[in-house]
Amino acid sequence: MVGSSYIQKKLLRDHSLRARAEKVIPGGMWGHMSVKALPEGYPQYFSNAKGSCLTDVDGNKYIDFMCGYGPIILGHKDEDVDTAFVEQLREIDLANGPSEKLIDLAELMVDIIPAADWAMFSKNGTDATTACVMIARSKTGRRKIAVARGAYHGAAPWCTPRLAGTTPEDRSHLVYFNYNDINSLEAAVSSVGDDLAGILVSAFRHDTRVDQELPSPNFARAVREIANRTEAALILDDVRAGFRINLGGSWEPLGIHPDLSAWSKALGNGFPIASVTGKDVYRNAAQQVFVTGSFWCGAAAMAAAHATILKLIRMDAISHMEILGNMLRDGIREQASQLGIKVRQTGPVQMPQILFHEDPEFRLGNLFCITALKHGVYLHPWHNMFLSAAHSETDIELALTATQHGLEAVAAAN
C-alpha cells in the first residue's frame, strides 16, 4: 500500500538497523513495540523526541499519538519531570533502601486517590496487576479471579495474550465474564462458589482490534456490589488509563472505589514505575505477600512520578487532553461524513480508537494510518491511541490535515 521507493527513501537507516537487529534479537524485536504487525512504512527505531514530536532514525518527524503506548502523558522529555529525575539521580537513586521520595510519592498518591489508603511501587504494569491478584488471594484465602474475556492485564504467564510458553495451570483459577455484561459476571462469580478472591477489571474496555467501551454505570456498580456481597476484592486495572481519565482513578467519576488499583504507564511520564494502591482493609494482606524487584526502590523514578503528578494537577492536563481529543474526534467525524466513510471512534476522546466499517483485516485502517504517517502523523490502526498534555491545537489541526489525506485514500480504495 506504500511504494517500496517511499520506504527505501524514508526508512533507509531504519531498515539497516532492522537487518542488524535480526541477527541479535529473536525476530528482530519482541512485544508490543514490534512494528511487524503494522503496515510497511512504520519506523521501528527512533532517535529523538520532544513534546508531541517523535523523530525516527532517518530524521522523519511525526506528531505522536501513541506516546510510547501510554507512558508519555506530559509530552516527551518534559523539562520539569526530567529535571526532577536528574536532580534526584545526582543525590541518590538505587541504594540499600529507598529515599524520602518513596514517602513523598506514596503520600501524594494517597492524597489524590480517594480509594488509596496506601501505596507500593514496582516497575511494570504486570508487576502491579500480579501483586493485586496476590494481595486479593492473601486477604481472602481464596483462589479465583474473574477477568473480562480478551482484556489485557500484562504479559506474565497467568495473563499474557499468547499462550506459547504457558501451561493451563497458569490460569486455572481465572474465570471469565464479558466486559459491561452483568449477567456474565454474575454467572462467572456463581460458578466458583465461595472461592472468589477478586474481580479484575480494566478502567474501560480497551482491548485491541475492537471498539472501545466505557464501563456502563450499572456495570461498574454491579462489580462493586458483587465484590461487596462475596467479600472479594474489586481490582481496577488502571495501568493503561490511569491519570488520563481522572487523577483520582478512572472509576472515580462513576463514584466507584476499587479495593485495589494497579497503576503504571503514565505515572512517571516514561520513567519506569508502577504502583499498587489499596484500601486499609487490604493493608495487612499487602504486607503478607512477598513481591520485590532489584530496582523497585530507585529514587529517581519516584521523583519523576512525583513531579509528573504535580504537573498534571497544575496544568489541569486531563481537561486539556479532553478538549484536544474532542477536536480530533469531531474533525475526523466531519471529514468522514463529507467523504461518506463509516468510521467508528470509541473510547475516551483522550485515548482514541478509530476503526472502519467492514474492515476485519484492517485493510482500510492500515491505509488510513500509513497515509497519515506519510503526512507526519503517527496513528495506530487497531490499538487505542494516546493524547498528551504536550499536544497543541496546532498539532490537532496538522493531524486533521493528515487524517483528511488518510480518509481520502480510504474513500478511493473503498
By CB under 8 A, the residues from 234 to 273 that bind a second copy are: 239, 264-265, 270-272
Per CB under 8 A, the list member of 39, 115, 127, 312 interacting with a second copy is 127
Q: Is 51 in the site for a second copy (CB under 8 A)?
A: no
Query: Is the separation of the CB atoms in 262 and 159 below 8 Å?
Result: no
Cα–Cα distance measured from residue 383 to residue 74, given in angstroms and rounded to the nearest whole number: 20
Per CB under 8 A, the list member of 79, 87, 100, 186 interacting with a second copy is 100
Q: Is 164 in the site for a second copy (CB under 8 A)?
A: yes
| Minimum gap (Å) between residue 334 Cβ and a second copy | 27
Per CB under 8 A, the list member of 288, 319, 338, 394 interacting with a second copy is 288
| Minimum gap (Å) between residue 69 Cβ and a second copy | 7
Comparing CB distances to a second copy, the nearer of 160 and 178 is 160
| Minimum gap (Å) between residue 333 Cβ and a second copy | 25
Per CB under 8 A, the list member of 26, 340, 358, 361 interacting with a second copy is 26
| Minimum gap (Å) between residue 406 Cβ and a second copy | 18
Q: Is 110 in the site for a second copy (CB under 8 A)?
A: yes
Q: How far is CA 404 from CA 1, 93, 179, 339, 410, in A?
A: 17, 47, 33, 9, 10
* Alpha-carbon torsion (127, 133, 134, 136), positive or negative: positive
Comparing CB distances to a second copy, the nearer of 31 and 340 is 31
Query: Is the separation of the CB atoms in 309 and 112 below 8 Å?
Result: yes
Stretch that binds a second copy, among 91-99, 219-227, 305-313, 403-411 (CB under 8 A): 91-99
By CB under 8 A, the residues from 377 to 396 that bind a second copy are: 378
Stretch that binds a second copy, among 102-110, 183-191, 325-333, 365-373 (CB under 8 A): 102-110
Q: Is 83 in the site for a second copy (CB under 8 A)?
A: no
| Minimum gap (Å) between residue 93 Cβ and a second copy | 6
| Minimum gap (Å) between residue 102 Cβ and a second copy | 7
Stretch that binds a second copy, among 27-35, 326-334, 345-353, 393-401 (CB under 8 A): 27-35
By CB under 8 A, the residues from 171 to 190 that bind a second copy are: 172-173
Q: Is 151 in the site for a second copy (CB under 8 A)?
A: no
Comparing CB distances to a second copy, the nearer of 4 and 294 is 294
| Minimum gap (Å) between residue 393 Cβ and a second copy | 23
Query: Is the separation of the CB atoms in 342 and 336 below 8 Å?
Result: yes
Name the burial class of residue 89, with classes exposed (0-12), middle (13-18) and buried (19+) by CB atoms within 10 angstroms of its CB. middle
Comparing CB distances to a second copy, the nearer of 55 and 401 is 55
Query: Is the separation of the CB atoms in 389 and 75 below 8 Å?
Result: yes
